[in-house]
């Protein structure tokens, strides 16, 4: 089995990379031969040809380009993978649909994992959106199966006539590290900050979170985790919105134990995205037992159910209101009452993840899909 279309593992970028790591390591532990293809700009080239946690790594160069990097690297990886004759290839990101004919000619059965409706992302200009609209129509017809990570996205693809669309969610685990080293680096205290995690791109709405936080003025800090390689103008806008407010901390990318520490110790988590399917960071916040305030979109309601609080779509005013209501104050009695409510929300969220978003169950569903496709029974 091979995984193509991500920046590679160990994960150090975003949702697809975390997914590739969690899935491939589990399948390798079950005795499968698994290869993950990564980009030299994101994975140490010295890892090329080595095995990491049971997974074979192939690290190939890619051009540094917002519009060409993903597709160019995946085409290179597909040609390499075709020579290695994998029986099953999981291709991530609908933009990579051009690699499917190469993989299928090699005899591999293929599944295309999609990440929401990419053509709706504001970070793409008109040519980028047009390309994604083609990819979203053509890709599912070239793959043996298409994988959506939530029912809402699966239904959209089926309504467009895409054949063989299955829903397999992501998973999440409770934090393994509950220390405070990362908090000390950022200068925040346990339960003394609101946490936001996402790539800093327009459709993820960090600007909405910053405006709402400054409006709500809680007696807490705001920790913004994430970055983006091709969003310098948007990141500059975020810095401008934050101004000289010392309570707003930009943490950059944080992975591993540091990330676990941040989600272990937050007072509240905000999920502000407006495009995409199931967001891994949302699941991870739920698994950490955090109370969550989320942008009101169908995907978030599907994931959280009634275990969180929602604010009106992309409204900083309503988000500020929900932050004030959830964090409580100004009297000690109000703070204590809201604290009890947040604890209940967090326990409900953690229980929902344990029931519906277990990584071992996710791995079993991909394992079953691969077997069905390879055997011809799918």
Residue 332: what pLDDT?
Answer: 58
* CA–CA separation, 265 and 194 (whole Å): 10
Residue 338: what pLDDT?
Answer: 66
- Spans in the chain with pLDDT lower than 50: none
Q: How many other C-beta atoms can be found within 10 angstroms of the C-beta atom of residue 166?
A: 14
Largest CA distance in the chain: 68
Residue 75: what pLDDT?
Answer: 96
pLDDT of 27-54, one tens digit each? 999 999 999 999 998 889 999 999 999 9
In this structure, what token pair is assigned to residue 260?
């676990």
* Domains of the chain by start residue, with CATH: 2-171+358-375 (3.40.50.2000), 181-356 (3.40.50.2000)
pTM: 0.90
The CA distances from residue 317 to 204, 311, 322, 323, in Å, are 17, 9, 9, 10
* CA–CA separation, 236 and 176 (whole Å): 33
pLDDT of 66-90, one tens digit each? 668 889 999 999 999 999 999 999 9
Cβ-in-10-Å burial (0-12, 13-18, 19+) of 372 comes to middle
The CA distances from residue 333 to 102, 329, 336, in Å, are 64, 8, 5
The DSSP symbol for 61 reads -
Q: What is the DSSP string of 206-248?
A: HHHHHHHHHHH--SSEEEEE---TT-HHHHHHHHHHHTT-TTE
Question: Helices 15-29 and 359-375 sit at what angle, rounded to 10 degrees?
Answer: 70
pLDDT of 243-291, one tens digit each? 999 999 999 999 889 999 999 999 999 999 998 889 999 999 999 999 9
């Amino acid at each position: 089995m091979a995984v193509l279309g991500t920046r590679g593992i160990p994960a150090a970028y975003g949702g697809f990379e975390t997914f590739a790591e969690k899935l491939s390591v589990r399948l390798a532990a079950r005795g499968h031969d698994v290869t993950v293809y990564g980009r030299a700009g994101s994975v140490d080239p010295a890892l090329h040809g080595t095995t990491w946690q049971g997974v074979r790594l192939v690290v190939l160069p890619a051009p540094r380009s917002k519009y060409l990097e993903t597709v160019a690297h995946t085409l290179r990886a597909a040609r390499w993978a075709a020579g290695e004759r994998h029986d099953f290839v999981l291709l991530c990101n609908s933009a990579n649909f051009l690699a499917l004919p190469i993989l299928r000619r090699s005899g591999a059965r293929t599944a295309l994992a999609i990440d929401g409706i990419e053509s709706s992302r504001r970070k793409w200009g008109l040519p980028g959106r047009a390309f994604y609209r083609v990819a979203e129509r053509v890709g599912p017809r070239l793959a043996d199966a298409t994988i959506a990570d939530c029912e809402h996205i699966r239904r959209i693809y089926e309504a467009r006539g895409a054949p063989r669309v299955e829903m397999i969610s992501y998973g999440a685990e409770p934090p393994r590290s509950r220390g405070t080293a990362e908090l000390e680096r950022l200068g925040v205290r346990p339960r003394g900050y609101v946490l936001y995690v996402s790539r800093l791109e327009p459709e993820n709405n960090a600007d909405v979170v910053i405006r709402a936080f400054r409006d709500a003025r809680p007696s807490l800090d705001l920790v913004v985790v994430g970055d983006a390689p091709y969003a310098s103008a948007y990141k500059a806008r975020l810095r401008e919105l934050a101004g000289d407010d010392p309570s707003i901390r930009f943490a950059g990318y944080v992975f591993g134990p540091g990330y676990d520490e941040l989600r272990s110790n937050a007072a509240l988590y905000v999920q502000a995205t407006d495009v995409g399917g199931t967001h891994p960071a949302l699941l991870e916040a739920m698994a950490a037992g955090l109370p969550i305030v989320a942008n009101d979109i169908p995907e978030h309601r599907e994931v959280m159910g009634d275990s969180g609080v929602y604010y009106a779509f992309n409204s900083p005013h309503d988000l500020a209101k929900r932050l004030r209501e959830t964090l409580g104050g100004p009297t000690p009695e109000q703070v204590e009452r809201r604290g009890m409510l947040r604890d209940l929300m967090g326990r409900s969220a953690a229980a929902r993840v344990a029931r519906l978003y277990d990584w071992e169950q996710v791995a079993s569903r991909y394992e079953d899909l691969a077997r069905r496709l390879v055997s011809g029974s799918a």
